Structure 1
């Protein structure tokens, strides 16, 4: 083989290997930083990953906020009006956090099925709701209208 051809072939091989390594590094970084959104109904159904961080969003359920004795840990339930998931967060909650408000929490599920949040975001005014939360609430409402549950009568 001609030495010039051999040099060109080596250079092309190194370029292809470099592009391959760069592509692998980019895809690996993208996979590590990818964070999906799940509604409480999807989490209860088991669609959410157990060992990977994700976002959960919905409304803070009324009378569900409980503060732990350490003063920083708060447990509350997030609902999409169909299912509810318990969320535990250690830190200072946003000023707009309260019962009945829309929130998005980032974190992951523990072995007991409790969502351990690393960050909690509250909606910033009464007109705004993250699109994922609005869609999951609308879907849960549509399913409840299509499949009404019989209500227990109070005697």
Structure 2
């Protein structure tokens, strides 16, 4: 949600625990640091569960290195990974989407430009069945089309996870 610099404490990234838990002493994957302490609305906490808003005090990480939308996860327990490429089922908005199109993709509180690499049209009658029709530069997605699309983030720090595993990190808006 936000990043704060607190005298005597250091950098304090603040946000919501999306899944799992947060606790002091755990190593973080994105910040390459250890959580020194945890606070929720000025109360020191021993841990925080999914859905709670917390601030994590981390030492040795400059505030400029942490951005809104960064995902902090436990390095020892299925850490979040930066997306190199991701596949998603999308419904096209007005206009025509073609491979090569760059859209601003919003995932949780992060946003980054992503290039549409390829797409295949799906059945629009609700069955979700793949029609197998690969779309190219000449035939793009028209308004209302449903397709399975492959996106490539142009920003190296975007985290997108499978929706089935982490719904909060698997839902996005173009």
Report if TM-score (shorter chain) is over 0.5.
Answer: no
Q: Which has the larger radius of gyration?
A: 1
Q: Which has the higher strand share?
A: 2
